Amino acid sequence: MTPLTTLSDDERLFFDTVLGFANERIAPKVSAMDAASTLEPAVLAGLFELGLMGIETPAERGGGGSSFFNAILAVQALARVDPAVSVVVDVQNTLVNNALLRWGTDAQKGRYLPRLASEWVGSYALSEAGSGSDAFALKTRAERRGDRWILNGRKLWITNAAESSLFVVFANADPAQGYKGITAFLVERDCPGFAVGKKEHKLGIRASSTCELLLDDCEVPEDNVLGELGRGYKIAILTLNEGRIGIGAQMLGLAEGALGHALTHVRQRRQFGKAIVEFQGVEFQLARMAMEIEAARLLVYNAARLKDAGKDFVNEAAMAKLFASEVAERTASQAIDLMGGVGFTQEFPAEKLYRDAKIGKIYEGTTNMQLQTIAKGLASKS
């Protein structure tokens, strides 16, 4: 296996290609997209053109036929420039595509994977008003009627919803069985009874849409059950374990971007006759930021390598997501401190990265949920 601390030549080329795309095609639009809370169509089209929306999807299904690790590298590279764009790619690859690749039937893979690689955005619809960390408290119901399933309920905080054409929706088809009745359904945007509701006005990652979903006697073909009936809870748990590595990569890239902006400023800003980077107090702050980023990178890469190797990675994913989200928030905050007054203005990117960082401790498992996962893992090994 490739050493965790290094990238192969192909991986480095891939990372550099994505980063070059982000700097050229996304960076000029970041501020406007953030202000408008909208992902520009040209940016989304570019993600498809570069093959970033189906990285692991086999070539015969229209995808890149690459690795989970490369999907993580893409998220990291994009997040250096705009974490909002990176999460679009993250959810598409680590949640939606991965769920289809692992549990989809041949017919489902043939119908959806080529579209997801070329034109369709996907969403993962688990959360509800009363089920966040307690995901299995969901109230959305599914009832079989003839050859169709009828879904009723409301989903909240669904990433990519404004742009998505396909939704992996979790509903309980047998409430008497508790969480064992939860089933995953593939719901197309034009299914009767389905609607995308209001778009949230958010603190950060504003170009990434977050919306509610309304299911009012929503009709879903019987063939659109993903996996087995009553196995939705397993799909949710296992997919989110993989998704947490993606959030770790997003936060890693964000921290790298924040450090880069801080370095540029302290090298140019002069006080008391010299660049402020020459002051020992500033040097020490930068050194600590770099150290924490490197530690986060190793945790994220380790978890991704383990996943690709088919080894257990649950604890490592939780550690990567938790630590990287903390590092991102600290680094973005410190970057603003080092940049002073200009760092506090929207004229420079640091304040946006600071706003974007906060979500890292919340979605795909809060900090406390990650700590619980890590603690349970330790207990099971004792």
Active site residues: 364
In sequence order, the 6+-apart residues with CB closer than 8 A to the CB of 284 are: none
Taking only Cα atoms into account, the Rg of the chain, rounded to an integer number of angstroms, comes to: 21
**CA distance linking residue 58 with residue 246, whole number of Å:** 20
Burial of 236 (0-12, 13-18, 19+ CB in 10 A): buried
Q: What is the dihedral of CA 11, 17, 23, 24, to 10 degrees?
A: -170
Round to whole Å and give the CA distance between 139 and 142. 10
Which pair of tokens denotes residue 363? Answer: 């979605």
Collapsing DSSP to helix, strand or coil, 191 comes out as coil
CB 17 within 8 Å of CB 66: no
Q: Which residues contact 280 (CB under 8 A, 6 or more apart)?
A: none
Contact criterion met (CB below 8 Å) for 214 and 140: no
Single-letter code of the amino acid located at 199: K
Which of 185-195 are b and which e, b meaning 16 or more Cβ less than 10 Å from the residue's Cβ?
bbbbbebeebe
The answer to whether residues 82 and 32 touch, using CB atoms and an 8 Å cutoff, is: no
